[in-house]
Structure 1
Amino acid sequence: MLKPIILSISAVFLFTACSFKIPSFDWFSFSDSDKYADILQEADNCQKVENEDSKLSCYRNIENTNSFAQIRLGTYYANKKDYKSALKYLNQAKQNDNIYANLPLAFLYYKGEGVQKDLNKSFELLKESSDIDPTAAYQLSRFYLQGINTKIDNEKGIELLNFAASKGVSAAQEILVNTYKNGLFEQPRDQKKVEFWQNKLKEEVEDVNHKIYRL
């Protein structure tokens, strides 16, 4: 069974005493003009290959020109604890201006796996990508809400959670339900918001979890 690095990311950054659902992504709908559209489609052709060896071969055939292939190879090797290879591919993707490389890199710096542990680097990577990548926004919210490597900023944390939740990250939706139900993070209890996010959680959304990062 595939266990992409993003599962580990979610576990590492998990909010205390909050249950966790793997976030669903319903926001990867790139237009033809989007700078990611063509390379994502090319990488997704490899993702459809069932045999792992053939899949890896497919990605390696395009690894020099496709930053999503680099991200997926990077997360693959991180799961194998081959951090030298993981960092090679993830840093290559970042150098090629793929903002989605930030999330797995932030995880490695947060844990100190393959690199010296650096919470500031993890924070900055998430901050850089949080206005585009909802999962990065979700993870960054914890830094603000719990005062990790920065002062507590509940307003910013809730703003990030709302962005992530609005883009289908169910873990963020669950936290907002708990927040407005119990008046957490200096937010007033709000039954309407509780019901709104509960209804979002109940919506049947196509399961495209971790599409960007999944081999």
Structure 2
Amino acid sequence: MKNLLVLTSLIFLISCGSTTQEHTANTKNSNSETVYIYDQETNKKLKQAEDFINNDQYDKAFPILSELAKQGNPIAQNDIGVGYQYGFNGITDEKKAIEWYTLSANQNYAPALHNLGLLEFNKAKNDSDYKKALDYFLKAEKQNHYESISTIGIFYKNGIIFPKNLNKSIEKFKIAAEHGNASGQFNLAQAYYYGEGVQQDFKKALEWYEKSSEQNYEAATIQLAKLYFSGKGTPRNINKSIELLKPIAESGNATAQYNLSIAYRENNDNKNYSLWKNIYESNPKED
């Protein structure tokens, strides 16, 4: 289930191939319809921590979340888990991330259930591992956690644990997408792009890529740029493709860097073509 870079017929890299095209993500906030109500002081502290995180001030957010987490708040416990998993507090420690996720999940907090499932999913090697992941996602689905619902669609799409069922995968992707989940929107767009479980429709793919891209979902923005580059589902517009790719390329995304170089070459801009080709080629090569 690794995400792969593959070449299209237009020599334009996409974020993932047709057999590994689905995306799922960690969740920090509720991303579901379940409402969590706390006292005014707790809500104030959670909001303060969220503001610090949104401003990349993780050193200020961590003490607030740590205090609340130790008091048993499942939102803070999950956020501390995310912090340890990705090093938001300066320390990456998957074991501690799992400990905090588990404390939160034991209170049936859907994002923590999803995050535990995602850890199992990403390192799964056999059906037993995937079953552990699926169990977490199914528990979160009961709370209408849309990231988990989209992820369950991946299980159906690829025949993991469940028999392969493209109709069921589309059903899950649509539920998540129509409730504003960026991964679900991307996965549904991919289905329309490749014609998997639905009739191939580049215009509908474009529509769902746009919705996902509006939430800063990089994979969707890269695919959207690909549609503008190729003129599928929309009039061809190389400049629009460049406009979409450049911010992502500047942030270090290798796929966007390569695609941007190709777009500049297509626009007969040899200077920028060479610049971004060299930047892309300077990235460490995967084994």
RMSD over aligned CA atoms reads 3.2
Is the CA contact (8 Å cut-off) linking 2:75 and 2:104 kept in structure 1? no
User: Would you say 1:177 and 2:225 are equivalent positions?
Assistant: yes
Q: Which residue of 2 aligns with 1:46?
A: 81
Q: Taking structure 1 as reference, are residues 10 and 137 closer, same or farther at Cα in structure 2, changes over 3 Å only?
A: farther
Q: Give distance in 2, aligned partners of 1:112 and 1:40.
A: 33
Is the CA contact (8 Å cut-off) linking 1:173 and 1:197 kept in structure 2? yes
The amino acid of 1:90's aligned partner reads F
CA shift digits 1:153-185 (9 cap, x unpaired): 332211001112222222222222232223123
Q: Which residue of 2 aligns with 1:209?
A: none
Q: Which residue of 1 aligns with 2:100?
A: 58
Q: Give distance in 1, aligned partners of 2:80 and 2:213.
A: 29
- Partner SS state of residue 116, structure 1: coil
User: Map of 1:1-215 to 2, 5 A cutoff?
Assistant: 8=1, 10-11=3-4, 17=8, 18-21=12-15, 35=35, 40-49=75-84, 50-64=92-106, 65-78=108-121, 79-80=123-124, 81=126, 82-131=129-178, 132-185=180-233, 187-202=234-249, 204=251
Is the CA contact (8 Å cut-off) linking 2:3 and 2:15 kept in structure 1? no
- Which of the pair has the greater relative contact order for Cα pairs under 8 Å at 6+ separation? 1
Q: CA deviation at 1:191?
A: 4.0
Q: CA deviation at 1:135?
A: 2.1
Q: TM-score, normalised by structure 2?
A: 0.56
- Partner SS state of residue 212, structure 2: helix
The amino acid of 1:44's aligned partner reads D
Q: Taking structure 1 as reference, are residues 174 and 87 closer, same or farther at Cα in structure 2, changes over 3 Å only?
A: closer
Q: CA deviation at 1:197?
A: 1.3
Is the CA contact (8 Å cut-off) linking 1:9 and 1:104 kept in structure 2? no
Q: Could you list the runs of 5+ residues in structure 2 that have no partner in the other structure?
A: 17-22, 37-42, 47-73, 85-91, 253-287
CA shift digits 1:89-138 (9 cap, x unpaired): 11000002211112221211111122221111111111111131112211
Is the CA contact (8 Å cut-off) linking 1:9 and 1:107 kept in structure 2? no
Q: Taking structure 1 as reference, are residues 162 and 40 closer, same or farther at Cα in structure 2, changes over 3 Å only?
A: farther
CA shift digits 1:16-51 (9 cap, x unpaired): 72524599x9xx788xxx947975543111222343
CA shift digits 1:61-91 (9 cap, x unpaired): 2213211111011122223341222121110
Is the CA contact (8 Å cut-off) linking 1:71 and 1:89 kept in structure 2? yes
Q: Taking structure 1 as reference, are residues 195 and 16 closer, same or farther at Cα in structure 2, changes over 3 Å only?
A: closer
Q: Taking structure 1 as reference, are residues 191 and 123 closer, same or farther at Cα in structure 2, changes over 3 Å only?
A: same
Q: Give distance in 2, aligned partners of 1:198 and 1:46.
A: 31
Q: Give distance in 1, aligned partners of 2:185 and 2:216.
A: 12
Q: Taking structure 1 as reference, are residues 183 and 87 closer, same or farther at Cα in structure 2, changes over 3 Å only?
A: same
The amino acid of 2:160's aligned partner reads E
Larger Cα-atom Rg: 2
Q: Give distance in 1, aligned partners of 2:168 and 2:119.
A: 22
Q: Taking structure 1 as reference, are residues 196 and 41 closer, same or farther at Cα in structure 2, changes over 3 Å only?
A: farther
